[in-house]
Amino acid sequence: MAGRGKTSSPDEDVTTSFISTMTTPREIQKPIAVQEPDKKKEAPRLADEYEILYDPETDKEHPLERFRRSRRCKLFITREIARYLDRKTFITVSFREAIIYCVFLILITLITLGSTPLDMFYFSQAMETLYTKQEFDAGTGAKKTFYDINTMNDVWNYKLSIIHSLYHDFWYSKPDPYENPETLQENYFENKLIGMPQIRQVRVRNSSCELQESFTEPYKNCYGRYSFSNEDKEDFGTSDEWKYKDADESETASIDGILTNYNGGGYIALLQNINDKATQTIYKLRNGKWIDRGTRAVFIEFTIYNGNINLFCTFKIIFEFPPCGGVIPSHWNYVQKFIKYNDAYDMFIFVCEIIFCIFFIFYTIQKLVEIKTLKLKLFKSFWNWIDIVILVACYTTIILNILLYVVVNDRLPHLVSLKNQWNYASFDRMFYLHILYSYSFAVLIAFAFFRLLKYLNIVYVMHQLQCTIARAIPDILSYCVLFLYAYFAFALVGHFLFGSQLEDYKSFPMAVFALMRSSVGDFNYYKLVQADPFYGPVFFFAFIFFIGFILVNVFLAILVSKYEEVRSEVRIGGAKTFIGEMISLWALRILEKAECNWLLSQIERKRFEKKVRSPTEAIRQYLRQAGYSELEIELFFKKYDITDSKIAAMDEDKFSYRQGEREAPPPLTQKDILRYIIIQKLEYLENHYQAANRLIDEFLSKLSKFEAKR
């Protein structure tokens, strides 16, 4: 073996003699040869290995060399710059940045919690219960709720009933709504309407679709699906309610319904802030056939303010009239706090936002320094792209927040003024601007917390996990082609078989989402059987078996195999400094300055004991360097029952080579290895087969319960 002429430690003599003793009398497929490491050859590189960008001896003016020499430049050393310097500098800078970044995450958390108080949820639920869950008289003596509406007559009856929820027969429903009551305490109400509610409809033109020649006689008109090109903008009456107003005039934004997106303009009728007059307006529209075959959507829109919690709520009730007939009810409500910074907690959030801006400027300067120093090398790292996304989200969030503050201060006084109480107060611009701000801030929160994984790489366990994921990504992406192919095939089959009967499969995207829910156990097997007694169960069991049992487990197999590869490379690569060792070093320095001699001696003794490797671990390391896999090493140790105690006994008793040869078991052959591998796989399959049987038994018991309920 190489290195035989060099002096070696007693531990190495024992392990080397043991390997030669146990391996000489038998034949192994791979020869055991331990060689000295060749420094000229590159070792296997993991995810965080470094690249030399310059020669410190010749390139004295390189920015990295200036960072190394200058104390002033050391203040601007970031993790991305330090990864091209020495390992200890990299660990120290990463730990410092991680502490600062945790403060940044705490600020984001405080701003998020301060921007979404619990009162928003309860206010939204109160409005939803009041306008969508209360029963109303359907006109035939029957009671219905909002989501039971399915005819045009139900829509008119609902409009009459909602007036009683919008107005009350008290002081502000009198002819003068601003006349104060004699005793406000007796007539106190939590919510106040801002402006007047409005009813708006959008229509389509006649002949917006083509009739078949065979049906031109019974059908004189044809009203197709709604679209911006098919929208009818012509007046169909003499009153203002029958005249079209565009989105700029009505100050109403477009809105998404269940079927499609609808324009902000339309035909508008205002409901006055008096109960009787609002009821008269409803009857006027009903008798004038304001809703007819050309109507495709009707909206009831209003805004409510609650002074107790300082929140605004814009509520939009939507009735969609598809070309096939019927009514599809839905609603949209959004609660927000527009009047900010008026109490102590709001001022605390304001201070957090100021500190957030300071952090944002600090990270911008850091990124500019990295770009100047590393140039295009910076964009080779995945985490730098995440940093750029976070900076863009920060820019967008701050700009939208400032713009929202300006728009609110400009429009809110006009909307809540007494002069505007006889018009519809449109908060759409402010609400949609705040929605954009919320989306931008949500992206910032998601990527900011994801970025914390970047600093966990200096922890030994997280280093292995991140390297495993990085290694597995190419195989997973390749396998995703097969997985998505099978997944979308099942979704297409489900949409074709059940799309006309089940809501979960009414469209291809809904079918994909339904199968995703089925993968996590959220499914309704009874509906599939009811839709098709034969193909329903066949489709369900085929999807669960192929997608749930087989294809999903392949993902886990890929990750497990890559994790074993990473562990082997980490062991072969030798010791590497991580944050645990650095923290221990810093703690020792503190103890030295504190002159804790007894504690230092105990720590040194334990560190010395850890440095003394056991003979079995030394053998494992030699075998890894010789190119053996972990499975072959485990077979070697199990075949010869190698333990530390037996190695020590051999050294003490000085067993001869012949005695060891006589007592040695037969040599390890390729058949032994294959037999062991097959046994392990059979045990694995047997365990999974038993688990699958348990799952099938549980599933059959649930099916029997479903059948019993039928």
Angle at 184 between CA 414 and CA 309, to 5 degrees: 55
Q: How confident is the model at residue 22 (pLDDT cuts 50, 70, 90)?
A: very low
Residue 135 inside a domain? The answer is: no
Instruction: Judge whether 53 lies within some domain.
Output: no
Average pLDDT over residues 89-107: 86
Residue 291 φ then ψ, to 5°: -105, 125
Residue 608 pLDDT more than 60? no
In the numeric block, which tokens belong to residue 408? 């609110």
Residue 16 has pLDDT above 50, yes or no: no
33 pLDDT band, cuts 50/70/90, is very low
| Cα dihedral: 125, 128, 134, 139 (round 10) | 180
On whether residue 288 sits in a domain, the answer given is: yes
Assess if residue 458 is contained within a domain.
no
- Which of 575, 600, 578, 580 lies closest to 589, judged by CA? 600
User: Which of helix, strand or coil describes residue 256?
Assistant: strand
Question: Helix 508-519 to helix 460-498 angle, to the nearest 10 degrees?
Answer: 130
Q: Flag the least confident range among 120-129, 221-230, 373-382, 565-574.
A: 565-574
How high is the mean pLDDT of the chain?
Answer: 77
Closest CA to 153 of 348, 289, 35: 289
Average pLDDT in the 106-122 region? 89
In a domain, 317, yes or no: yes
Model pLDDT for residues 448-472, shown as the tens digit of each residue: 999 988 888 777 777 788 888 888 8
> What percent of the chain lies above the pLDDT cut of 70?
73
Dihedral angle at the C-alpha atoms of 568, 569, 574, 580, nearest 10 degrees?
A: -90
**Residue 31, token pair as written in the block:** 């020869």
pLDDT mean over 636-662: 60
- pLDDT of amino acid 218: 62
Confidence of residue 599 (pLDDT cuts 50, 70, 90): low
pLDDT at 272: 82
* Closest CA relative to residue 429, chosen from 453, 452, 410, 446: 410
In a domain, 341, yes or no: no
Please tell me which residue, 647 or 313, carries the higher pLDDT value: 313
Q: For residue 193, what are its two tokens?
A: 């309407």
DSSP 204: B
- Residue 43's pLDDT is 38
Question: Is 194 within the bounds of a domain?
Answer: yes
Tens-digit pLDDT profile for residues 157-202 = 898 888 877 775 544 444 444 444 443 333 346 788 888 899 999 9
Tens of pLDDT, residue by residue over 473-483, are: 888 888 888 88
**Owning domain of residue 302:** 146-336
pLDDT at 296 (0 to 100)? 93
pLDDT at position 423 is 84
> pTM for the whole thing?
0.69
DSSP string, 324-393: TSS-EEEEEEEEE--S-S-SHHHHHHHHHHHHHHHHHHHHHHHHHHHHHHHGGGGGGSHHHHHHHHHHHH
- The response to whether 11 counts as a known ligand-binding position is no
Q: What is the mean pLDDT of residues 405-416?
A: 87
What local confidence, expressed as pLDDT, does residue 316 receive? 93
Q: Which residues in 191-254 belong to E strands, given as ranges?
A: 191-203, 244-245
> In this structure, is residue 205 part of a structural domain?
yes
Domains of the chain: total: 1
Distance CA 519, CA 549 (A): 10
